[in-house]
Chain A
């Protein structure tokens, strides 16, 4: 008697005939978020403090996306992503203070380079080796972030515990980007560019390698992939994105401090991403918006502000326990999140 499976898989799978391809949700969500981003400064034009809030959301979204590239797409758990945010933030603040330079075409690439190189060095320590375990990587990045925060806190040249304030304004030629709709627009353009670049990367054949790496790293090595190279590459790119975010933050706030590279902000990046939905790119943007808006709304209530870190900790615990796929996990299928890398063909339904 022939095996039923053998018969079934010789032609088109019977169970698939007539099956409707589920609606793809991610593009709709992306368009909706883009629409909100465009409409927000128009709607909030009379509320400068809210323009500041949404600019912060856009900047921190970059940090959250960088974490998503590491964890959501590549399975690299980093608890020290703020390190690559804070250090470039300090670099551009120092370049402005000591050299008087703040031109966008010079300092933003400089911040990108600082984030990239720092992440590359950390990756060489933590990711290259026979088989670094996830816990080793998580603790290593956390330690790096903590050590940098402590180091900067005691270093007078960089302002010690007070950080660096009165950061020179970001310039484009003679034009200065001050806090407000213009800075918001600039941050949005950068976020859009990073997002499109990241989307292209994870949708490419390299993205397929990352998806495989996240599921079974050992299997990929036996297929002939030098997994560490891919890990170092993604980690370094994520560091570069964090670097841009750190520079924008520094210019926008006019300040950068030790806390901007420590475990606190690193953990916040984890929460932004996991709350929104890791492995989606747009999820971290939504997660950042939810947390930052909640923080803003509740900041005036003293009793809540006091326990805010505890609340964030509980949020993280709740997501891990009850909704590991985050907010977007409720509307986006796992299949769509992971995506398909093959070509669509006639008579074969493709999803994701």
Chain B
């Protein structure tokens, strides 16, 4: 069953067509990779799905509902969660408070004012931090973390609200090989919890993680299929050998 259906999505920035009639279907329970050369439109597509960019034309349906015009907070509440390419943790808040903020995002105003759920959410915060190996630094400021740890915190924030679909934009960007390996280990178990769409430049990383891949080039879908199919795709090989 399709959890996400993107149809004929186009996004123009002035004269530049960042996305040009992109179709994408993501089935529930899968890990779906988006790859392509620099400037192929991967991040733009992810941002359009999450609501950071309003598409010029086309439709986005999530869980059977048209969300093309929905603002980001509505998409998030519907179960879409985005990890930005550039880490956007809240640096002046503690690591604990970053996760608490993500976890309490579904609470009502009266609950927030009376701090009714602060104790209740404590276990959830620590579980999320444990999972991403940050529990020992719960009281440190998020801005004090290394780049790799900030990426993990960012994934923890995106996962905290128990999304149906997690969108990860280059989760291993700027990480050491060892941190990339650990990130893969951290991401694999979330298969049982949500569907994943991931943009990544590290082909080996994405091959080991994803069930199917969509290859973008110049804002269009170049090819789509299982990892094996894409590995043997002559169209993809041409693009990668000629431009990468």
- Chain A residues proximal to chain B, CB less than 8 Å: 1-3, 5-6, 8-13, 16, 130, 201, 204-206, 208-209, 211-212, 215-216, 218-227, 229, 233, 334-335, 338, 340-343, 348-351
Contacts and interface: CB of A to CB of B under 8 A. Distances in A.
Interface in B90-121: 90-94, 96-97, 100-102, 104-107, 109, 111-119
Interface in B135-155: 135-141, 146, 148-149
13 contacts: A16-B139, A205-B104, A208-B97, A211-B97, A212-B93, A215-B90, A215-B93, A219-B84, A222-B51, A223-B76, A229-B109, A340-B139, A342-B125
Contact of A233 (B105, B109, B119, B141): B109
B138 to A, nearest CB: 6
A223 B161 contact: yes
B67 to A, nearest CB: 13
A349 to B, nearest CB: 6
A351 B137 CA distance: 13
A139 B176 CA distance: 46
Contact of B112 (A206, A220, A221): A206
Given A215-B93, A341-B97, A5 B73 contact: no
* Complex A-B, nearest 7 residue pairs according to Cβ-Cβ distance, in ascending order: A224-B76, A342-B96, A224-B105, A206-B112, A3-B178, A221-B72, A205-B112
A212 B101 contact: yes
Task: For chain B, give the interface size range.
Answer: 35 or more
Nearest to A335: B141
A222 B72 contact: yes
B72 A9 contact: no
A211 B139 contact: no
Nearest to A215: B90
Contacts of B105: 220, 223-225
Interface in B194-230: none
Contacts, number: 142
A94 to B, nearest CB: 33
Nearest to A337: B92
A164 B222 CA distance: 74
Given A223-B76, A349-B139, A5 B179 contact: yes
Interface string B52-83: 10000000000000000001110011000110
Given A5-B146, A205-B115, A343-B119, A223 B157 contact: yes
A203 to B, nearest CB: 8
A237 to B, nearest CB: 11
Given A9-B134, A205-B104, A223-B161, A340 B96 contact: yes
Contact of B137 (A13, A215, A226): A13
A342 B72 contact: no
A350 B97 CA distance: 12
Given A13-B137, A215-B90, A340-B139, A223 B102 contact: yes
Contacts of B141: 335
Given A208-B100, A212-B90, A338-B92, A227 B73 contact: yes
B190 interface: no
B109 A348 contact: no
A202 to B, nearest CB: 11
Contacts of B97: 208, 211, 340-342
Contact of B178 (A2, A222, A334): A2
Contact of A5 (B72, B96, B115, B148): B148
B193 interface: no
